[in-house]
Amino acid sequence: MKKHQDIRDAVAALCENFPGEYWRKKDRKNEYPTEFVKALTESGFLAVLIPEEYGGSGLGISEASAILEEIHYQGCNAGACHAQMYTMGTLLRHGSEEQKKKYLPKIASGELRLQAFGVTEPTSGTDTSRIQTKAKLDGANYIINGQKVWTSRAEHSDLMLLLARTAARDEGNKPHDGMSVFLIDMHEALGNGLSIRPLKTMINHSTTEVFFEDLKITKSALIGEEGKGFRYILDGMNAERILIAAECIGDARWFIQKSVDYASERIVFDRPIGMNQGIQFPIARGFAETEAAALMLEKAVQFFDSGKACGPEANIAKMLASEASWSVANTCLQTYGGYGFAEEYDIERKFRETRLYQIAPISTNLILSYIAEHVLGLPRSF
Ligand SMILES: Cc1cc2nc3c(=O)[nH]c(=O)nc-3n(C[C@H](O)[C@H](O)[C@H](O)COP(=O)(O)OP(=O)(O)OC[C@H]3O[C@@H](n4cnc5c(N)ncnc54)[C@H](O)[C@@H]3O)c2cc1C
């Protein structure tokens, strides 16, 4: 029995209104699934991690994971809005009471969307310590200059959480010192120093490049203390890893179900293709990999919700779940044969979508490096 069956049933009912044809159309036209995100927001699902005092439902990562897993299991995609669940945590943990009171209730109600998260830059890549976007204090304002890349959903967000340098890399004790986090009002900024350029990609992800040219923001946009921004972002990483792993498990279970159904129905050589062990075994193996990853995810979820450190568990869960979903995506495509390539079955769309998770929000190599260095104590590589 899966946990939170009542929540899963409610999510499944909502997803029924967004069948494959809805996603295919969005995918074809590269359109943001506004209606889906609106329905999720109105149902309160996106605000489960926001405490009740700020208008959310104050539930745990366990419930949030169940929501995202179910969305993906139903063939939908939460990539258009999942970031709000985890970026909000930076504001919640490190924002001032005034900032929390100002923004969180509006984020919970859907009046404000916090979907844009600007960390990655073209030249720095995974090495966040080398970001070059700068925020320079000028009286009561900060002036921002620089560029971000892969800032997803920037065109569909009212706020952006931005990581920028307030001190040079060599000024601090550590390379990651001297970065700060800002909460930017996108409407005020657009056309006044902020511009956005959409990036076309192999999936419909509304991702963009964002340019800052003397963007002036007030000092009050700073979250927490200046110079500690990277630590604040890191604090949110375990939640991000866990929630992405949940989406992967949802994808994996969707692919497995599709594979089982098709292998049972498709008759070739006068028998269901699923009678052939060449078809059965990869599905069975994918199922085993998915269940193992789901167990690791459950461990990470339990640690997280009970306040225990869960870096290794969250990272391992994300890696195993993204590998399991990709493995069963491949198997599903093979099971469908030529029909797997036809848009109408959604396999090729979900196949493209689930591939992302081995690269973003963190690539597999970086997780392996974390395990090697921080869990196994192997010498630091970079
Ligand atoms: C669709 C999409 C949406 C995204 N959304 C966002 C977003 O909203 N906000 C945001 O800030 N970012 C976002 N990203 C960026 C994403 O987090 C990065 O693409 C990802 O972290 C990898 O960084 P990179 O592309 O610069 O790869 P690079 O850092 O250039 O690395 C390229 C490859 O080399 C490997 N590599 C690099 N260094 C090492 C090493 N020392 N050892 C072993 N392997 C190494 C990496 O694992 C990777 O496979 C998004 C990306 C995509 C594709």
Q: What is the pLDDT of residue 357?
A: 98
- Domain borders along the chain are 5-109, 114-226, 231-375
Stretch (H or E) spanning 181: strand 179-185
Probe residue for ligand 1, chosen from 363, 364, 371 as the CB with the greatest number of ligand atoms within 8 Å:
363
Closest-CA residue, ligand 1 atom 7, reads 151
Rounded-to-integer distance, Cα 154 and Cα 226, Å: 24
Closest-CA residue, ligand 1 atom 48, reads 363
CA of 366 to the centre of ligand 1 (A): 9
For residue 228, what is the DSSP state? B
Name the CATH superfamily housing domain 231-375: Butyryl-CoA Dehydrogenase, subunit A, domain 3 (1.20.140.10)
Probe residue for ligand 1, chosen from 115, 123, 126 as the CB with the greatest number of ligand atoms within 8 Å:
126
Segments of the chain with pLDDT less than 50: none
Atom from ligand 1 closest to the CA of residue 127: 29
CATH class of 5-109: mainly alpha
CA of 280 to the centre of ligand 1 (A): 35
Q: What is the pLDDT of residue 349?
A: 98
pLDDT digits (tens, 9 = 90+) for 45-102: 999 999 999 999 999 999 999 999 999 999 999 999 999 999 999 999 999 999 999 9
Is 271 in a helix, a strand, or coil? strand
Q: What is the pLDDT of residue 207?
A: 98
Neighbours of 125 (CB within 10 A): 12
CA of 267 to the centre of ligand 1 (A): 42
Rounded-to-integer distance, Cα 356 and Cα 152, Å: 13
Tokens of 323: 């590998």
Q: What is the pLDDT of residue 2?
A: 85
pLDDT digits (tens, 9 = 90+) for 13-56: 999 999 999 999 999 999 999 999 999 999 999 999 999 999 99
Closest CA to 113 of 161, 76, 77: 161
CA of 358 to the centre of ligand 1 (A): 9
Atom from ligand 1 closest to the CA of residue 119: 11
**379: cis peptide before it, omega within 30°?**
no
CATH 2.40.110.10 is held by the domain 114-226: yes
**Residues in contact with ligand 1 (CB, 6 Å cut-off):** 117-120, 125-126, 150-152, 201, 205, 207, 356, 359-363, 365-366, 369, 382
Closest-CA residue, ligand 1 atom 22, reads 126
pTM (2 decimals)? 0.98
- Catalytic residue numbers read 240
Atom from ligand 1 closest to the CA of residue 363: 47
CA of 224 to the centre of ligand 1 (A): 26
